[in-house]
Amino acid sequence: MTANAEKTSTNELVLTKGQYRRIQDWLYQVSGIDLKVGKENLVKNRLAKRIRTLGLSNFNAYIRYVEQDKSRKELLTLIDSMTTNKTSFFRERVHFDYIANQLIPDWSQRRDIRIWSAGCSSGEEPYSLSMLLFDKYAAASSTRILATDISDSILEQARTGIYRADQVVDLPTHYKTAYMQKKNGEHYSVKPDVRSTIRFANLNLMANWPMKGPFDLILCRNVMIYFDRQTQERLINRYYELLRPGGHLFIGHSESLASVNHPFSYCQPAVYKRD
């Protein structure tokens, strides 16, 4: 590449097919994310700010930077930039209704309920679970909720339990009053008793899992949309092994297990059970 061509690519941040394939390979090998052909502009736009923040000139320089980073922190930053951390309190409310009406009555004689929120993002899902349990389940304080994500930065945000007023605007008034504290006019903080049931931890779903289970409920919602069928199948069957007999798996309503070989029993859309 000539100096002039290099200068042009620097100014325009050109992403070549070879560079795109390199990023595709990293994402798939490390996190299972199946980045399809046709997402080149998305990759270029999402990484442009990072490239400039690092003071680099083009994608060749950025790829070299990732390759030379022995800590792999930049690789995880790259992966984080390719996912969308869109979530909200009590998202897909039908799942929380199912917990309240179907699961909690079955749990009424137990005090060792364990739940896993896989891909917890900024924490709204596990905090919603804890609020619901404190509201409906007598032994809520003894419940243990594991909340995991691959992104350290999003986990740091989740651990604070602090949310802007616009992030809790759709939270029912009862929950907001009972389980959150108003810090000022702009922020709310999750109360300590709700936070005490949750442990946040970094976890790559494609790596080894240190926890042994069994879990009564696993939520992996709107995560598998990033994976190909083979990866989905492997992940779903790993979840099955960690569930207690009678335990449930929730996936996102935009996801489906129709083309995946698995041993779960179907309960209702996006709800499955280990017999």
- Kindly name the residue from 80, 91, 114, 149 that is annotated as catalytic: 149
172-215 confidence digits (pLDDT tens): 999 999 999 998 878 999 999 999 999 999 999 999 999 999 99
Evaluate whether residue 86 is within a structural domain. no
Q: Is residue 87 part of a domain?
A: no
What pLDDT does 4 receive?
38
Across the beta sheet with 271-273, the strand order is 198-202, 144-149, 114-118, 215-220, 243-251, 271-273, 265-268
What are the helix (H) ranges across 161-225? Answer: 173-179, 192-195
> How far is residue 12's CA from residue 108's CA, in Å, rounded to a whole number?
61
Preceding omega of 210 cis (within 30 degrees of 0): no
Same-domain check for residues 48 and 135: no
Tokens 């922190």 locate to 73
24 and 127 in a single domain? The answer is no
Output the domain CATH number for residue 124.
3.40.50.150
Query: Does 111 share its domain with 247?
Result: yes
pLDDT at 210: 96
For this structure, is 46 an active site residue?
Answer: yes
176 and 234 co-located in one domain = yes
- What is the pLDDT, as a whole number, of residue 98? 98
> Are 33 and 122 members of one domain?
no
In this predicted structure, what is the pLDDT of residue 86? Answer: 78
Residues 25, 253, 170, 118, Cα dihedral to 10°: -50
149 is catalytic: yes
Same domain, 126 and 260: yes
Domain boundary among 25, 46, 81: 81
- Number of structural domains (the chain) is 2
Query: Domain check: are 118 and 228 in the same one?
Result: yes
* Spatial distance between the Cα atoms of 122 and 88, rounded to a whole number of angstroms: 9
| Region 65-77 average pLDDT | 93
* 237 class by beta-carbon count within 10 Å (0-12 exposed, 13-18 middle, 19+ buried): middle
Q: Which of 6-20, 27-41, 200-214, 216-230 has the lowest mean pLDDT?
A: 6-20
The residues facing 220 across adjacent strands are 251
Would you place residue 137 in the very low, low, confident or very high pLDDT band (cuts 50, 70, 90)?
A: very high
DSSP code for 179? H
- Cβ-based neighbours of 113, under 8 Å, separated by 6 or more: 107, 133, 137, 139, 142, 143, 144, 216, 217
- Answer whether 206's CB lies under 8 Å from 233's CB: no
Does the pLDDT at position 71 exceed 50? yes
Residue 88 lies in a domain: no
- Give the chain's mean pLDDT: 92
Return the ∠ at Cα 190 (arms to 184 and 196), rounded to 5°: 145
* Global pTM exceeds 0.85: yes
Is 214 contained in some domain? yes
Please name which of 104, 124, 119, 125 lies closest in space to residue 151, comparing C-alpha atoms.
119
In single-letter form, the type of residue at position 265 comes to S
- Say if residue 111 is in the same domain as residue 216: yes
Q: Are residues 61 and 188 in the same domain?
A: no
Supply the range of the domain harboring residue 215: 93-273
Distance CA 223, CA 200 (A): 17
257 and 131 in a single domain? The answer is yes
